[in-house]
Chain A
Amino acid sequence: MDSAMAASRLGAWAPVWARFRREPLALAGGVFLMLLIALALFAPILPIRDPNHGYYELLPLDGRPLPPGSAFLLGSDANGRDMLSRIIWGARISLFIGFFANGLALLVGISIGALAAYFGRWFETALMRLTDIMMAFPVLLFSIALIAIIQRGSVLVIVGVIALFYWTAVARIVRSQVLSLKEREFVEAARALGGSSRHILLTHILPHLVPIILVYGTIGIATTISTESILSFLGIGVQPPTADWGKMVAEGQGFMFLAPWLVVFPGLMILLTVLAFNLVGDGLRDALDPRSQAFFRGAMGAAATGGALTAGQRPGLESGALDAPLAGAPTPGGSSGLQGETV
């Protein structure tokens, strides 16, 4: 049974992929991210210079940074360090923080949102007010203050700080979904058969949240990476000499007119990476959303190629509630969940 279930679940993603790959922008974003992840993973074995070593002997007497195309493909910074190496190694930091901070935020957000909605009453009130309080904090000010207290920024501190703030949006979306899901017949059936809360949440409700998690997780990484860059730019991120895009922009700003490549290359990488994650996230949302154009194109394509497509095999897509919370504007009174009931 297990393997049969797995097969049918995997099969359910085939049409999603079929729709996704028809989105040229999303596909381009995906290809870019694959390349970036590969570069980041293999940075230690790539034939590139040590990103933290300053080749002062190569700098001219007045110490100005070397331009791209000279001894260094993308030029050097003012410490004689290889910009190319630093950008590749910087990708490791950005992606690591992007995935882990956002993963942590998702974990916390899903848990809090699902538990709040499922158990309701004072428990829900307490958790959701906590969410409201966290959303009201000015993230940057709080991060600066926190890191000033901790004294030393590090990758893990940044992961923690970002996760601390970015679980709130996920929690709200998950809550509205679970509010709807827990009234559905299959949950009622499971409860009638004597299923425990834990069983119902993990086995029956969680799978229906996967699409939301995917979409929100991808777009969330973009937010996380830009936040991390801002923190590093302000000097409260990773410690020197670690290469980090935000820090590279900060270090290069004095040389903006003299050696624009110090700012342009890392700035471009932040831009492209954030853009790519957003495009992929958008593409995923369209591919998973039954009401979007892409859905119909994909559905017909999938049907033509004989792909099975039934409502039961597309977890979480029944309600069409995906787009409302994802657009960042929950409908009043959590009605998006109730609408799902009537479909």
Chain B
Amino acid sequence: MNRRAALILAAVMAGSAVLAACGNSGTTSTTGGQPVYGGTLITTFKDDFKSLDPAIGYDTDSWSIERALYNGLLDYKGYTTQLVPDIASAMPKISADGKTYTFTLRHDVKFSNGRGVTAGDFKYSWERMLDPKTAGPMTGGPFWGSVTGAQDFFNGKTTSVSGIKAIDPYTLEIDLDTPNLAFSNILAMPFAFVIPKEAVDAANGDFAHHPIGTGAFTLASYTPGQLLVLKRNPTYFGARPYLDEVDAQIGVSTDVAYLRMQNGQVDLPQPDVSMPSSNYIQLNGDPRWSSRIVRQPNVDIWYISMNVNMKPFDNVKVRQAFNLIINKANLVKILNGRAVINNGIQAPPMPGFVSGYNPLGLDSNGQNLTKAKQLLQQAGYDASHPFPAQDFLYANTTPDADRESASMQQDFKQAGITLNLKGLAFASFLDLVGKPNTVALSWTGWIQDFPDPSDFIDPLLTCASANVTANGTNNPFYCNKTVDQLADKARGDTNTTERLTLYRQIQDIVAAQDFPEVPMYSTVETSISSTRTHGYQIHPVWPLVLTTLWVSGAASSAPAASASASATSS
């Protein structure tokens, strides 16, 4: 899903061995004592949520809340990436050809409005999610394009997806045209969460602010830009969560949030973002807090997107030159070393990741300025035809994003290119970069939705993901038929060696031939929680898991108006 601009900690430099070691020693949870039921957890977000509608929100902020409100057929066990049944009563029966998935549903699952969940609700939710009228990220066909009948549905030839079948109230069948080894994982994503039609109709087009689901929590109140309150759902079918209430204060900058955490007024400051470096250095050097820091290598990649449909990035030489300019070592330093340089399109722990990948022969900083200037000259830019100044969009969730952008601005200046930095609120950023022909140059991050290399191809680099009207995730709007063919072939290939070879071929086309993006680094996430918070861990997929957290004692009284008071300074 879309990753916020923020960051990260790896002990040292490149090399997956180091990262693996770090993961083993660093992935600790802050547990202690017997869990206690009850209490309110306070968390903060700098920006408002893009959308709590599971068909639309596809970013770490939105997923933080969606995960608490809704459920799908499958979920991940604890803090692992192992799939387990959730609303499904068992793992699906998958036909031998890998094209038919049959699920049996639990009978005891209720929406928070009291109605029981049936297979028809899934059919409704998914068709709504795929409906071009919903204008969600999936409507162009990434992940779901191979479901039988999906293409006809996208094109408006049918009003229903034939491959999604409610056989009886508790049996659901999904047919695929071509097998997809990651399809079970796709069914665990929020896009496949179930929602009730009557609530969508009642919300009158604004389901994002009036969400109803089956989740462990329900939305008690939502004042956009100020405060979102979740209350425990008494009819939740799963294990009772420890917390009774979660208050998400909106509009709190990370600087303020971390101060409040140290005062005991906030429990989880901006939980979906790695600690900003100023806070990390300070708290890591403070014995009272250093033991509370949790670390985990993220399966993520941070990159610059160049919109291939917009000038001057329709010229491949320009895009290649941009790949030679950024001093990635400086960015790693700004992140206190909590990152490793990455020149490819897959993240370190992912199958298919090539360690030390460097097809352009970049130096140890990730640069080759001489070659970059040559390429820009070949593209027709020189002293008398200077490269046009570019707006450089990013999400300014933490001060680190501003500092990284300033560092890149300096690199580009050395290549004779002026960047105008435009830091935006995360939701505004996503709105802009998700629209075709709107943003030429931006930088962002992608963190895995599930542990399969297709997650770093299908939503980011395929023609289907570029074929959206809004809310897209293929920010360069890159579309190459060869890449699509390779991705189609790899998706259902059960021969692992062959499959990973196909993904490496895609990487070579993207990162050594077409250059729609500039890969920069992958991060190690660090997070922290208040002293009264217990059970906090970093999940490999979910940006925030509330069901296993518990709090002891009461939070220091934070003024109720504090969230809104600080909104102007963020």
Using a CB–CB cutoff of 8 Å, the interface residues on chain A facing chain B are 52-54, 56, 59, 61-64, 78-79, 144, 152, 234-235, 239-241, 251, 253-255, 257-258
Contact = CB atoms under 8 A, between A and B. Distances in A.
Contacts of A254: 254-255, 258, 276, 278-279, 399
Contacts of B410: 52-54, 241
B423 to A, nearest CB: 8
Interface stretch (B59-67, B330-338, B484-492, B518-526): B330-338
Given A240-B405, A240-B409, A251 B327 contact: no
A59 B327 CA distance: 15
Contacts of B255: 253-254
Given A255-B278, A257-B282, A258-B282, A241 B335 contact: no
A61 to B, nearest CB: 6
Interface string B253-289: 0110010000000000000000011110110000000
B77 to A, nearest CB: 35
B367 to A, nearest CB: 12
Contacts of B337: 61-63
A79 B407 contact: yes
A78 B403 contact: yes
Nearest to A50: B410
Contacts of B82: none
12 contacts: A56-B327, A56-B334, A61-B333, A62-B333, A62-B336, A63-B335, A63-B336, A144-B568, A241-B406, A241-B409, A254-B255, A257-B282
A78 B330 contact: no
Interface string B397-427: 0010011011101100000000011010000
A79 B402 CA distance: 10
A88 B361 CA distance: 40
B403 A79 contact: yes
Contacts, number: 68
Contact of A54 (B279, B329, B407): B407
A239 B406 contact: no
A54 B281 contact: no
Contacts of B204: none
Q: Is the interface of A mostly helix, strand, loop or mixed?
A: loop
A144 B570 CA distance: 12
B497 interface: no
Nearest to A78: B403
A255 B254 CA distance: 12
Of all A-B residue pairs in the complex, the 7 with the closest CB atoms, nearest first, are A254-B278, A56-B330, A62-B336, A63-B333, A255-B278, A254-B255, A258-B282
Interface in B311-347: 327, 329-330, 333-337
Given A64-B336, A78-B403, 6 more contacts: A53-B410, A62-B337, A63-B335, A235-B423, A239-B420, A254-B399
Contact of B330 (A54, A64, A234, A241): A54
Interface in B533-570: 568-569
A322 B169 CA distance: 87
Contact of A240 (B258, B406, B568, B569): B406
Nearest to B414: A53
A78 B421 CA distance: 18
A79 B420 CA distance: 17
Contacts of B569: 234
Interface size class of B (residues with CB under 8 A): 20 to 34
**What secondary structure prevails in chain B residues at the interface with A?**
helix
A258 B334 contact: no
Nearest to B256: A253
A257 B254 CA distance: 15
Nearest to A81: B406
Contacts of A56: 327, 329-330, 333-334, 407
B438 to A, nearest CB: 14
A80 B333 CA distance: 11
B278 A258 contact: yes
A52 B421 CA distance: 14
B88 to A, nearest CB: 45
Nearest to B330: A56
Contacts of A239: 420-421
A79 B409 CA distance: 12
Contact of A79 (B258, B329, B406): B406
A24 B276 CA distance: 47
Given A253-B255, A254-B276, A258-B281, A240 B402 contact: yes
Given A234-B568, A241-B409, A258-B278, A251 B402 contact: yes
B425 to A, nearest CB: 11
A56 B408 CA distance: 12
Contacts of B282: 257-258
A64 B421 contact: no
Contacts of B258: 254
B87 to A, nearest CB: 42
A198 to B, nearest CB: 45
Contacts of A62: 281, 333, 336-337
Nearest to A61: B337
A217 B317 CA distance: 54
B82 to A, nearest CB: 35
Contacts of A251: 399, 402-403
Contacts of A253: 255
A78 B334 CA distance: 8
Contacts of A61: 333, 336-337
Contacts of A59: 333
A235 B402 CA distance: 11
A63 B279 CA distance: 12
Task: Give the residue among B278, B327, B420 with the most A Cβ atoms within 10 A.
Answer: B278
Nearest to A262: B278
Q: Which of A54, A64, A254 is packed against the most chain B CB atoms within 10 Å?
A: A254
A78 B333 contact: no
A63 B407 contact: no
B249 to A, nearest CB: 18
A78 B402 CA distance: 11
A164 B279 CA distance: 39
A328 B336 CA distance: 51
A251 B276 CA distance: 13
B406 A63 contact: no
A238 to B, nearest CB: 12
Nearest to A233: B569
B404 to A, nearest CB: 9
B256 to A, nearest CB: 9
Contacts of A63: 277, 281, 333-337
A161 to B, nearest CB: 16
A78 B327 contact: no
Given A234-B568, A253-B255, A54 B406 contact: yes
Q: Which of B281, B337, B402 has the most CB of A within 10 A?
A: B281
Contacts of A235: 423
Contacts of B423: 235
A144 B420 CA distance: 19
Nearest to A64: B281
A151 to B, nearest CB: 9
B460 to A, nearest CB: 28
A53 B414 CA distance: 10
B407 to A, nearest CB: 6
Contacts of A255: 278
Contacts of A53: 410
